[in-house]
Structure formats: structure tokens, C-alpha cells
A = this chain, B = another copy of it.
Amino acid sequence: MYVTIPTEKEALGRQIKLGTKPQAAGGATFKAGAYLYFEGDPVERLYAVKSGVLRLTRLLLDGRRQVIAFGYPGDIVGFPSDGLHHTDCDVLVETRVVAYPRSVLENPKADPLLHQELLQAALREIAAMQDHFLMLGRKSAAERVASFLHALSERVGEDFGPCRRVSLPMSRVDIADFLGLTTETVSRSLTQMRKANVIAINNIHTVVILRPEALLGMSEGHGILAA
């Protein structure tokens, strides 16, 4: 899951339907904290996330970390490059996946329909990452956090009275490492939005979006509008 405003809307109508042969390919459930794979591992399968949340990370030698993406239902994770995984992948919330052998992606003949689905998923991934570049390269801290909440709201938010509720299963460190910030800055940005009545923070891991338009505005770089 990447976080951007412009193209996210396009993703809404389009739920990937990869369940064509679930039992044949094999489904599995992973508990929180489990690793699906590590950077450098040879790729054996791709995973279609059915429920739960995954975390894809990369590390720099000195320990600096970048969260590359969060894997939400509908996402495909584990694309190989030169046959290898290029991130670590672990589980934030117990996750059900359907696994497909790498050959389905790389050999069209085995299952043409599925091959096509996985290819399209890879292409969407490229476009989503391009959007994410804009965020990391060109957005302020407040804009990043707002973009993040907005995208999550669109993607996995639930209705909550007249508002929208978003669950944040990941830690503040994860959010920071995803957005290229520090936890302190993430925290301050959230506080700022709370004080402007854009969001309410029920529980540390649950945010209610009180004024979606204001949030969207912030994510696009208009300052904070008071309630």
C-alpha cells in the first residue's frame, strides 16, 4: 500500500480477484511477528493478501530503516528481481494470504489468467511507487501524515457515524519510517491535526477523521484550516 492522493481514487473500484484457484495454489495464515521472507531470499512464491496487514522493509547498513510498503488485502507482495526478494516482509496483524508459485508470474503458459493478474499487479505497483516518490521527495511532514491518513481512509477506512474511522495497526516508528520522518514529528503532526479538529485520536491505534475535506486539503499542501 502506497500513500498518495492523485491516483488512489482509481484503485477504489478495482478489487483484484485472484481467488480463481485458491485451494489449488494454497492459502495460509501467518501470526503477528512472523516473517514471510527476508531480503536476499530466493523468491519461491508471491502472496496475495486476503486479510491482515504486512510490512515490507529495507535496511541501510547503519540501521536506518525504510518501510517500503504496507501490504493490505488486495495487494500482491513478493515480486522477484533477479529471482530474489529485495525487502523483508513481516506480519503486523494476523494475515491470511494465498500463495502462488513464482512460475505463475514468469511462465505465462502455466495459468494465463493468473499470469495476467500478477503482471497487472506489478504494473500498478510501479505506478503507485511513482506517486510515493512525490511524497518522499517533495512533501512536508504535515502533508505526508495527512496523505497517509487520507489514503488509509480511502482504502481501509470504515464508516463511523457521519465520519470515518481508520485503524493504525503499525507503530509510530513504522509510520515514521514509511514517511521518511521521525516518530516525534509524526506524533506532533497528529497532535496538530487533532487540535485543529481534523481528526480525533480515540485509542492510539484508532483515528477518526472528523473533516475529510480538511484532511485532503492538508495532504495537498493547503495549510491547516481551523474547524
Q: Is the CB of A58 within 8 A of B134?
A: yes
Q: Is the CB of A130 within 8 A of B82?
A: no
User: Which one of B64, B87, B132, B138 contacts A138 once the chains associate, using CB atoms below 8 Å?
Assistant: B64
Q: Is the CB of B66 within 8 A of A127?
A: no
0 or 1 for each of A118-139: is its CB under 8 Å from B? (1 = yes): 0100111111111111101110
Q: Is the CB of A180 within 8 A of B68?
A: no
Interface of A is mostly: helix
A60-B138, A123-B80, A221-B62 in contact; A130/B68 too (CB < 8 A)? yes
User: Which one of B112, B124, B125, B220 contacts A108 once the chains associate, using CB atoms below 8 Å?
Assistant: B112
Write out the residue numbers on chain B whose beta carbons fall within 8 Å of the beta carbon of A116.
106
User: Which one of B106, B128, B179, B221 contacts A119 once the chains associate, using CB atoms below 8 Å?
Assistant: B106
| Interface: A90 (CB within 8 A) | no
Chain B minimum-CB-distance residue to A109: B108
Q: Is the CB of B130 within 8 A of A65?
A: no
Q: Is the CB of A123 within 8 A of B81?
A: yes
- Report the minimal beta-carbon distance from A217 to chain B, rounded to whole angstroms: 11
Write out the residue numbers on chain B whose beta carbons fall within 8 Å of the beta carbon of A132.
133
User: Which one of B64, B66, B133 contacts A58 once the chains associate, using CB atoms below 8 Å?
Assistant: B133
Q: Is the CB of B108 within 8 A of A66?
A: no
- Report the minimal beta-carbon distance from A215 to chain B, rounded to whole angstroms: 16
Q: A87-B130, A106-B116, A106-B119 are in contact. List 13 more A-B contacts (CB 8 A).
A: A7-B81, A14-B82, A60-B138, A61-B220, A66-B137, A68-B130, A79-B126, A81-B123, A86-B126, A86-B131, A119-B119, A119-B122, A133-B136
5 A–B contacts, CB within 8 A, in A order:
A58-B134, A60-B138, A81-B128, A106-B116, A108-B112
A residues contacting B by CB (< 8 A) are 7, 10, 14, 58, 60-62, 64-66, 68, 79-82, 86-87, 105-106, 108-109, 112, 115-116, 119, 122-134, 136-138, 177, 179-180, 220-221
